[in-house]
Amino acid sequence: MDLTLKFSILLLLLGFVNASPFTNDFGHCERVVKKWASSSLEQEVKEDKHRLRDLLFFLHVPRTGGRTYFHCFLRKLYYSSLECPRSYDKLRFDPRKRHCRLLVTHDDYSMMSKLPRERTSVVTILRDPVDRVFSTYEFSVEVAARFLVHPNLTSATQMARRIRSKTKGVSTLDIWPWKYLVPWMREDLFSRRDGQEHRGSDDVQSNDPYNMEEVVMPLHEYINDPIAQEIVHNGETFQVAGLTNNSYLSESHEVRHCVQRYKHLGEHVLEVAKKRLDDMLYVGLTEEHRESATMFANVVGAQVISQLGGSNSSEESATESKPEQSYSVSDSKSDNNDLRNRTLDGKESEIASPETVEAVKGNMTVGELMKAYEDCISSLRKTQANRRTSSLKRISPANFTKQARLQVPEMVLQQIRELNHLDVELYKYAQNIFANQHKRNFGITGIWERMQNSTYGTSMKVLSLGGTLVLLLLAFYVFVNARRRTSKVKI
C-alpha cells in the first residue's frame, strides 16, 4: 500500500484530522472515559422496553447477518414510504423526514442523539467475535478482488470514480466501515499481484488460504495492522457504545483512543454497551440463526403487524407497487452483470427484483412472515454464494471456507480473542440476554402462538386437540373411579 495514502488514512482514522489534540496520560484518559460513561448510563429508558415504539432503529453491526433481516423481514413489514431517509441506500441519517418508522444503518448508537429517544426502539444482532473478524477480513478481500479485472490500480480507481460520479447508486466505498477496509485491501491485492508479475511466478507456497502471502494479505498480518486495530477489533462494543470513528459524538475519538491505549478503561465502555443491550427491544445472535429469526418474527414482527396492519393506505400500496430502484455498487468494471443489482455492502440484491420485492404486508400472521423470510433468504444466499465464488476466483488458489478456517493456527485465534476482549465479554452478555428473551417469549403462551402461526399450524392444532381429548378422557376416568370408591365406602 502506498505509504502516503496509508498515512493519510491513519490520520483520518485516529481523529487527527478536524479533531482537537488530546493528552494520552492515564489520569486524563480515566477522567474522560468515566465522564462519558457516567453521562451515558444516566440515559435511562422510561417506558416498557418490550413494547415497540413509533420508530424502529436497527443498529446493524457489519457481518452479523443484519442485511438479510433488512431485506427478508423489515421490507416485508414496512412500506418503503415509512423508511427514514439515508436508511442503508443513502450515506448518513437525514432527520428531515419526521414521521418515518424504520431506520436501518451501520451508524453506531450515537445515532440516538439524532432521534426522539422516548419514541425509539432499538434492535441489533451480535456475532461471535472470532467469526466476525474472519467474516470482515473475507468480505474486505472479496470486494477488493473485484477490482482485479483492471490492469493496474490506477485504472481501477479511475474507473470507479467515473462510474460513481455518473450513477445515483451508493458504492461500497461510501459506506462505513468498508470505505476504509476495501481501499486498504484493494491496494494490497494489486501490490501482491504486481509482485508476482515482477518475479515471473504465480507459485503459492502455502495450502492455507489465510496465509497465502503471495496473493493476499495473511490473516495474522491483517489483524495486527493499525487500520484493523482502529476499525475491526472490539467493533461490536464500540458500535453499541456509540464510539466508532463514524460516531456523531464529538468526544468519541478521545474516549475510544484512551480505551485502546489503556486496556483497563475498556470496562467502562463495556458497562455502557451492556446497558444499551439491556434497553433494546431485541438482541439476536448470528450463530443462533433459526432461533433468532423466529424470535425476531414473534417479538418485533408481531408488534409491527399489530401497529401497521390496520393503517395500510391505498397510497402506501401504490408506492410499494412501483419498482424499487436498484442501487448499484460502482466498484469496478466487471464481466457479465457484476454491476447490476448490487447492494451497498457488496452483495447482489435479489430484493430489487419484482419477485422478491412483493410485499406480504397487511393482515399477515407471524407464520406467513416466517414463510416469506425463508423464501427470501434461500434466494439471497444463492446469489451471495455465486458472487463470492466469482470474486475469489481472481485470487485463486485462495478460497475462504468454513473448512479452511480450521487450518488457522490456535495462536492466531487466541490473538484475535485477546484483541477483541471487550467483544468477547459483550457477546457472552448478549447470549444471556438472548436466553432470557427466549424464555420470556417462548413459554407456554409463546409455544401456543407459534403453533397457531407456523406453517405446520393445522397439523399441530390437530395434535393439540387430540392431546386435549386424551386429557379429558383421563380426567373422566379418574372421576368415575373416584365415584365408585365413594359409593363403596357409603355401602
User: Of residues 117, 164, 405, 417, which has the active-site annotation?
Assistant: 117
Active site residue 213: no
DSSP calls for 352-406: TSHHHH----SS--HHHHHHHHHHHHHHHHHHHHHHHHHHHGGGTT----HHHHT
Please give the C-alpha separations between residue 482 and each of 101, 473, 476, 477, 487, in angstroms, as whole numbers.
60, 14, 10, 9, 9
Neighbouring-strand partners of residue 122: 57
Active site residue 117: yes
Which runs of E-coded beta strand occur in 21-158?
Answer: 55-59, 102-105, 120-126
d(CA 181, CA 400): 18
d(CA 398, CA 417): 24
Residues 6+ apart with CB under 8 A from 126: 61, 64, 236, 283, 284, 285, 286, 426, 427, 430
d(CA 131, CA 38): 32
Query: Taking a C-beta distance cutoff of 8 angstroms, is the pair 454, 300 a contact?
Result: no
d(CA 59, CA 56): 9
d(CA 128, CA 144): 24
In this structure, the strands spanning 102-105 and 55-59 are parallel
Residues 6+ apart with CB under 8 A from 390: 338
User: Of residues 138, 187, 230, 236, which has the active-site annotation?
Assistant: 138
In this structure, the strands spanning 102-105 and 282-285 are unpaired
d(CA 77, CA 361): 5
How many other C-beta atoms lie within 10 A of the C-beta of residue 445?
A: 9
Cell numbers standing for residue 157: 480507481
Query: Taking a C-beta distance cutoff of 8 angstroms, is the pair 127, 286 a contact?
Result: yes
Cell numbers standing for residue 296: 425476531
d(CA 301, CA 212): 44
d(CA 381, CA 374): 11
Which run of H or E residues covers position 283? strand 282-285
Please give the C-alpha separations between residue 111 and each of 104, 105, 187, 248, in angstroms, as whole numbers.
11, 9, 31, 7
How many other C-beta atoms lie within 10 A of the C-beta of residue 206?
A: 15
Active-site annotation, residues: 117, 138
